[in-house]
Amino acid sequence: MKYPLDCEEDVKTSFMFWLARYVKFKLNSLSNKELRDPHALSSVNYRLARGVPSIDELDGMVKEARNAGLTGVSTYFNPLRKFYDTLIYYPIGSLKQIDEELISEILASITGGLSDASRKNYRISIINFFSFLDKQNEEDGKAHVFDIGLKNWQGITGNSGTKLPEYMSEDEVKRFLQAIDEAEFKNNTNRNKLILKIIIFTGIRVSEALNLKRKDIYEDGELYNIRIRAKGNKYRVVMVKRYLIEPYLDAIAINYINKEGYLFINKKGGRLTQAYVSRIVEQVLFKAGIRKAKNGAHMLRHTFATLLYKNQKDLVLVQEALGHASLNTSRIYTHFNNEKLKIAAEVVAEINEGVSS
């Protein structure tokens, strides 16, 4: 069913109406192969159909859907939440007054300091939302078409603006691993140590670690093979020496409330969150005396990839180990391949010595 674009008494309420409809549309179009709680998703859909009075309530519904196992919904919603929070301060009387110039202005204010990857995500989210509006609004047999492309938006700088990943040096990794061994967490110490060591020793994503089931880890001589369910529901296998994680794997408490068999669960039987894993990474980094601009769990993956390339100089190996679809994604880990730069420094030093003599 289609509705007039300005379907409510003010812009704020109209935008909320369409935002709720868009979220409902995304909930039913995203892949549900990871869905763990169909009843929770049904509840969210039911409440969305009845109308959502506030952006905070809609935010809560999105989080419920994400926690139920519907991946990707936050990626589409969060930029629109930020956009809404800024748009409501503009003195416009109709959604029809929103154009590329206004959108670009708002994007410039809400994406300052973000990486190019995040800015691209904001751009895609905005374009998809207004494309949805183009197709769903209608009044007197006519639709208002925004036709938002943001081709000239200057928020994205391209490859030259790519930021280098945050990572630990070999010495810092040793201190980090020692801090893991010495750490005492308030709850489930073996579980927390195991997930940190699996990520740092294999480079898998935090989300991939949280999806691990006990049956995904099996012995192969001196190794553990770990079956990973990766992005796009593709599978790959990573390996780790058994002695590195076996004591923690043997000691981890199995909570049988979790009938699906997930390895990293809380005391209620639900899976851990990425935010929780990042918090324990920060605790261990603090204990090890390591300070980084970005202390989240994803930094462990960057560390694994950086040190792997540094020691092997094999970009294809990095691509396969990290499960990157494209070799270009892996190229960022060549950032410290500075042997030729060292040669240049030596040449300049020799020239300087010749001048001094």
Residue count of the chain, please give it.
357
Alpha-carbon distance of 240 to 148, in angstroms, equals 47
Return the DSSP state at 163.
Answer: P
Q: How far apart are CA 200 and CA 197, in angstroms?
A: 5
Are 304 and 295 in contact by the 8 Å Cβ rule? The answer is no
Instruction: Tell me the CA distances in angstroms from 191 to 97, 245, 250, one per residue in order.
Output: 53, 11, 10
Q: Cα(284)–Cα(183) distance, rounded to whole angstroms?
A: 7
Tokens, residue 108: 């410039």
* Burial letters 292-301, b for 16+ CB under 10 A, else e: eeebbbbbbb
Which residues are catalytic, by number? 205, 231, 298, 301, 324, 333
